[in-house]
Structure 1
Amino acid sequence: MVTATVLALGAWPATAHAFGEDEDHPPTGPSGGASGNTLTAGVGTSITVKQVNGGKGGDLVHVTPSLSWGEELMVNHYEKGEDQSDGAEGYKDFNIGKDGKFWRGVMNPDVENTFEARQCETNLFWQDAREIPGIKNAPTPKILAGYAYNKIKVPDTKVEMKPVGESTVNLPTWVWLDKGKFEPVKVRAELPGTGLWAETTAKPVSLHLDPGTPDAETFPADGECAVNDDGSIGTPYRKGSAKEDPPCGIKYLRATGGDPYRMKASLTWEITWTGNGGAGGDLPDGTFEGTQDVDVQEIQSINR
């Protein structure tokens, strides 16, 4: 029985185009492309991508073998051992008894079908077990880090607030994020049987608050709430602190006139990667937004 593994070649998953780069170079600027709370990429390869912790969920992409070559080529080159016209040495009886597998290079189906992209296509070739395919554009730890990056799934950006849903003019609304929910998220991508792997780790580094109206003040003044040493952001409201300025929050200066303000919280995740052989580095930050309605009322008082 002959087994083969599909190997999608190219230096970066297709959705890296969202960051203004091409297939041969990883993105370098801040990210902004995302689907919901997931950075996604279509992967039709033998590369497995698995979220191993954080984010309350993940995805696993499995191998899908593809055997689509001509019968004459199969018999002459892989069974009878005849060399190909390009000089590729033939295989006798499909290398039966040897430890390894056949690989086939294919164009990433998610990139534009161009002449350059089609140069990734290769016929089946043999690779000994536990070795990285020795062809041009074969995956590297950095490439696997790109696949892992594009499968990061983080929690919805919904902050804790006090008061909840309804605030009062000139009294602060406290905002914070629970460190337990927004823990670092790790995703691992690997090429089975080769020892090639990479892991990306995303951790929240800042929260930006947009009150939804110019008639408001933010705490801090620039609206950027940093992460505390314990991984949380902001401070939960404590009884008796209603008139204090929170480390992270908003003070509304005008009441809502029927429609609530749409308070926007944008959480930035810093993303790094490590791989086999001591490889590693930084990847573009991911920023995810969430909006929450806030009603603001005037303080009611009675004059005597």
Structure 2
Amino acid sequence: MRSAARAYSLVVASVSVLLLASPTAFAIGDKHGQAPPPPGPSGGSSGSTLTAKATDTGIKVTQSGGGTSGTSAKALAPVDPNWEPPACWYEPVATPQALKTAVDRLKKNPNDDLVPVTPTLSWGEDLMVDHYEKGKAESGGGDGYENYNLGKDGMFWRGVINADRANDPESYDCEDTLFWQNAGTLPADKHAPTPDILAAYAYDKIKVPETEIEARPATRSTVNLPTWVWLDKGTFKEVKVRAELAAAGVWAETTAKPVALHLNPGTGDAETYPASGDCTINGDGSIGTPYAKGEAGRTPQCGITYRRATDGKPYRLSASITWQISWQGSGGAQGALPDGTFETTQDMDVQEIQSVNR
């Protein structure tokens, strides 16, 4: 069992532990004992002091696809209200030499330097030396490490908190203290960064085009005459988000595929086409068929007929795209995640007078 023995703050000196995002590894300082600049907005600096946040991660996220240029990107809402992205996971953070360098600096400045070993706790010089240099077991029973495991192939790992769930109690489930993991292996822990964990992390980062439907008439319809709804071709295409933790040799690519547009007329006094309100997405990314002059009385492929006029208060027509989610990852892993949706609304006034759409 790995457990923390003493709590300190997460402020570390420039030569203490810093989570550094790099293509191949994390590091605590560099080979000269000096810490590199903090990674992006997750770190900060003031004089000789650097701050490493518990939410720093080495996971690199890239997205491709998502529709035509110029469309605004929005986050998906899972159709399963109980689904959540991972709250925390473990990552490699330090090589044996990097950890030794940090502790050597602690010996020179024991009152100022701290080394984070969990998302919430840090250890001072005496415990770092006892456990990682002299091999003394933790009070909770965890085995010690002789001379920082120098010469061995692997890295020390610690927990990382998902910034989007930082206030969730579950984000503090990854509190095992800084521990060793042999190269090419993952921890035997449910919070290990397995492909399914990275796939769920990637899902939470998906951005899709905003749903902007075309309707005729656009904002004023007529009782018993269809309102045609459509989207131009190429608007909706697959979105792929890849999450990769290179230091652990793990990756996952989550794909969101648009499958249907659902119409909700905003009133029970209406009929949708098709009856389910689900307009399928065509192979070219279009939905429905555009209205053409003279087709006002025909049944549209995708649309609505209102049966009752509005009375001073418009109906709220909502249109939501359903995105089917699947993923594949390192080692041949694959699976599915809950469908996602994105919804927009617009006001619809409905009049009694019979007229022809223009």
- In structure 1, what is the equivalent of residue 210 of structure 2? 156
Q: Residue 209 of structure 1: CA displacement? A: 1.2
Structure 1 residue matching 2:130: 3-state secondary structure: helix
- Structure 2 residue aligned with 1:199, among 232, 243, 253? 253
Matches within 5 A, 1:113-132: 118=173, 120-128=174-182, 131-132=184-185
Q: Residue 126 of structure 1: CA displacement? A: 3.1
Distance in 2, matches of 1:99 and 1:2, equals: 22
- In structure 1, what is the equivalent of residue 143 of structure 2? 88
> Deviations along 1:85-110, whole A, 9 cap, x unmatched?
63524131x45576653211367645
The answer to whether the Cα contact below 8 Å between 2:92 and 2:157 also exists between their aligned partners in 1 is no
Distance in 2, matches of 1:82 and 1:300, equals: 87
> Deviations along 1:34-72, whole A, 9 cap, x unmatched?
xxxxxxxxx92525252412445589xxx9977222321
The one-letter code of the counterpart of 2:253 is E
- In structure 2, what is the equivalent of residue 52 of structure 1? 63
Q: Residue 128 of structure 1: CA displacement? A: 4.9
- In structure 2, what is the equivalent of residue 180 of structure 1? 234
- In structure 1, what is the equivalent of residue 46 of structure 2? none
Structure 2 residue matching 1:178: 3-state secondary structure: coil
Q: Residue 228 of structure 1: CA displacement? A: 1.6
Distance in 1, matches of 2:189 and 2:276, equals: 48
Residue 250 in structure 1 maps to residue 261 in structure 2: no
The one-letter code of the counterpart of 2:64 is N
Distance in 1, matches of 2:332 and 2:168, equals: 30
Distance in 1, matches of 2:267 and 2:142, equals: 69
Structure 2 residue matching 1:259: 3-state secondary structure: coil
Residue 218 in structure 1 maps to residue 289 in structure 2: no
Residue 286 in structure 1 maps to residue 286 in structure 2: no
The one-letter code of the counterpart of 1:275 is G
**What are structure 1's unaligned runs of at least 5 residues?**
7-42
- Structure 2 residue aligned with 1:136, among 166, 189, 203? 189
- In structure 2, what is the equivalent of residue 189 of structure 1? 243
Structure 1 residue matching 2:126: 3-state secondary structure: helix
Structure 2 residue matching 1:233: 3-state secondary structure: coil
The answer to whether the Cα contact below 8 Å between 1:260 and 1:293 also exists between their aligned partners in 2 is yes
Structure 2 residue matching 1:193: 3-state secondary structure: helix
Matches within 5 A, 1:5-154: 44=55, 46-48=57-59, 50-55=61-66, 57=73, 67=116, 68-84=122-138, 86=141, 88-92=143-147, 94-95=148-149, 100-105=154-159, 109-112=166-169, 118=173, 120-128=174-182, 131-137=184-190, 138-154=192-208
Structure 1 residue matching 2:209: 3-state secondary structure: coil
The one-letter code of the counterpart of 2:186 is P
The answer to whether the Cα contact below 8 Å between 1:51 and 1:58 also exists between their aligned partners in 2 is no
The answer to whether the Cα contact below 8 Å between 2:92 and 2:247 also exists between their aligned partners in 1 is no
> Deviations along 1:113-163, whole A, 9 cap, x unmatched?
69xx65x4222223455x243342322111111111222222333321122
Distance in 2, matches of 1:76 and 1:191, equals: 31
- In structure 1, what is the equivalent of residue 105 of structure 2? none
Distance in 1, matches of 2:92 and 2:135, equals: 27
- In structure 2, what is the equivalent of residue 36 of structure 1? none
Distance in 2, matches of 1:198 and 1:230, equals: 27
The one-letter code of the counterpart of 2:145 is G
Root mean square deviation of aligned Cα:
3.2
Structure 2 residue matching 1:234: 3-state secondary structure: coil
The one-letter code of the counterpart of 1:196 is V
Residues 73, 145 of structure 1: alpha-carbon distance in 2 compared, 3 angstrom cutoff: same
The answer to whether the Cα contact below 8 Å between 2:243 and 2:251 also exists between their aligned partners in 1 is yes
Distance in 1, matches of 2:73 and 2:216, equals: 28
Residues 214, 111 of structure 1: alpha-carbon distance in 2 compared, 3 angstrom cutoff: closer
- Indicate the percent of aligned positions where both proteins have the same amino acid: 58
Paired residues in the alignment total 257
> Mean Cα displacement is larger for which, 219-228 or 50-59?
50-59
- Structure 2 residue aligned with 1:277, among 331, 336, 350? 331
The answer to whether the Cα contact below 8 Å between 1:49 and 1:151 also exists between their aligned partners in 2 is no
TM-score for the superposition, normalised by structure 2: 0.62
> Deviations along 1:187-245, whole A, 9 cap, x unmatched?
22222222201111112211221112222221112212112222322112223322221
- Structure 1 residue aligned with 2:289, among 219, 229, 235? 235
